[in-house]
Amino acid sequence: MKRKIGSVCLVCVLALVLTFTFSLTAQAKELKMALGDAAGGTQWALGKKFTELLEKNTNGKLTAHLFPNGQLGSEQETVQNCRLGTLDLSVVAINNVTPFSKTVGLFTLPYMILSLQDGFILTQGPIGQQLVKNTIRDAGVRIIAWAYSGFRVLTNSKKPVRTVADLKGLVIRVPKNALMIGTYKSWGINPTPMAWDETFTALQQKVVDGQDNPYITNYVMKFYEVQKYITNIRYLFSLEPLLISEGLFQRQSPEIQQAILNAGKEASIYSMNYIVEKEGAIKKALVEKGMEILDPADNEKEFIEKATKQVWPKFYKDVGGKDKIEAALKAVGREFPF
C-alpha cells in the first residue's frame, strides 16, 4: 500500500515538473526596449506598435517591455548598450546614433529633409538601406524601424526669436552631435551639448534657456512647464530609429529575423500616420498651456543660408562625400542649393 502511494506521488511530482517546464518554454521571451522620451510620444507609439506586431508575427515567442523616460540611461548610452548586447532594443533620435556611425549624419544635415515625405523616401529607399548597413558595421546595432517625429522647433524661456540675430544671448542645449553644434555656431552662438535625460532639469534650473525638439516631444516631456516661446525653424526633421542589438538579431532563426523586420516595416508606416494625426492637436495644446508660437522672419532664409553653406561642406567627408548629399537630394527631387 505504502509503495502504491509512493509511486502515485512520484507521478504527480513528475507531472508538475513537466507542466512547469512546458509553461516556461511556451512563455514569450521578453525583450527590453529603452525609450528616451515619455509615454505618448512617437518613440512610444512606434515601440508599442512594434511590440504588438512582434508578438503576432512570432506567434507569441517574442515580446518586448518598454522603459520610457530614459529609465535605462541616456539615448547615447542605450546605443552603446545595444552594441554590447546588454540591452535588446532602443528607440533614439537619429542625432544620437550619428556619433557612432558618421554616415548617418546625412540625416542630420541641416535642411536636408524638408518634409515628412522626404524623410519617408530617404529612410525607406536605397539610401536608408545603405545607412542601415553602415550602422550595423560601425555601431553593432541594426535599425529595424523608424519613428517620424516632425521638425525640431526651437523653444526658449527668455524671448521671442524670429531672426538669427535674436538668438544672441541665449544658451541653447543641443544633443552631443557635431552637426547640430555646427548649425548653431553657423547662426552665431555657442550651444551647450548635453545628454537628453539631463535636459528638462537643466531648463528648469535655467542652466540653459532653450533647446530644440519636435512639437510632440516638447509636449510629452512637459517642456511647456519650463519654456515659453517656440520658433518654427525646420532645420531638422526628427527621425527616430528603433535599434536592435545586432548580436541578438543574428542569434535568431531566419523566420524570426523576418518576423522582426516585417514588424518594423509595418510599425514605421503606423508611426508616419501617428504624427500626421497628432501634431495639429498638440500644437493647440501647447498654446493652451501658455506657449507662444512664432514663425521665423523672411521665410527662414537667413537660417537656411547660413546653416547649409557653412555646415554642409564641413561634413562632406563624414557623410561619405558630396555625391552622397547630391544623391539624397535627387531622391527627393531637389538640386544642390549652392
User: Which of residues 92 and 325 has its CB atom nearest to ligand MLT in the complex?
Assistant: 92
Q: Cβ contacts of residue 190 below 8 Å, gap of 6+?
A: 184
Q: What CA–CA distance (Å, rounded) separates 6 from 12?
A: 10
Rounded to whole angstroms, the Cα distance separating 161 from 154 reads: 9
Rank residues 118 and 240 by Cβ distance to ligand MLT and give the closer one.
240
Amino acid at 236: L
**Nearest residue (CB) to ligand MLT, 62 versus 241:** 241
Angle, helix 322-331 to helix 116-124, in steps of 10 degrees: 120
Please report how close the Cβ of residue 300 comes to ligand MLT at its closest, in angstroms. Answer: 20
Judged by beta carbon, residue 57 or residue 192, the one nearer ligand MLT is: 192
CB of 258 to ligand MLT, least distance (A): 28
Least Cβ distance, residue 217 to ligand MLT (angstroms): 4
d(CA 164, CA 185): 11
Q: 3-class SS at 6?
A: helix
Q: Look-up: residue for cell 532602443?
A: 90
Q: Site residues (CB under 6 A) for ligand MLT? A: 36-37, 75, 92-93, 95-96, 175, 196, 213, 217, 240
Q: Cβ of residue 95: shortest distance to ligand MLT, in angstroms?
A: 6
Of the two residues 88 and 240, which places its CB atom closer to ligand MLT in the complex?
Answer: 240
Following DSSP, what letter does each residue of 128-172 receive, concatenated?
A: HHHHHHHHHHHHSEEEEEEEEEEE-EEEESS----STGGGTT--B
**Residue 176 burial (10 A CB sphere; 0-12, 13-18, 19+):** middle
Residue 321 C-beta: closest distance to ligand MLT, Å: 26
**DSSP summary character for residue 239:** E
What SS3 state is found at 62?
strand
What's the min distance (Å) between Cβ of 118 and ligand MLT? Answer: 18
For ligand MLT, the closer CB: 177 or 308: 177
- DSSP letter for 86, please: S
Tell me the CA end-to-end span of the chain in Å, nearest whole number. Answer: 97
Shortest distance, position 93 Cβ to ligand MLT, whole Å: 3
Where do we find the cell 497628432? Answer: 278
Which of residues 110 and 175 has its CB atom nearest to ligand MLT in the complex?
175
The residue type of 195 is: A
Q: Are 155 and 229 in contact (CB under 8 A)?
A: yes
Q: Which residue number places its CB atom closest to ligand MLT? A: 93
Between 103 and 177, name the residue whose CB sits nearer to ligand MLT: 177
For residue 41, the 8-state DSSP code is: S
Kindly state the smallest distance separating residue 247's Cβ from ligand MLT, in Å: 24
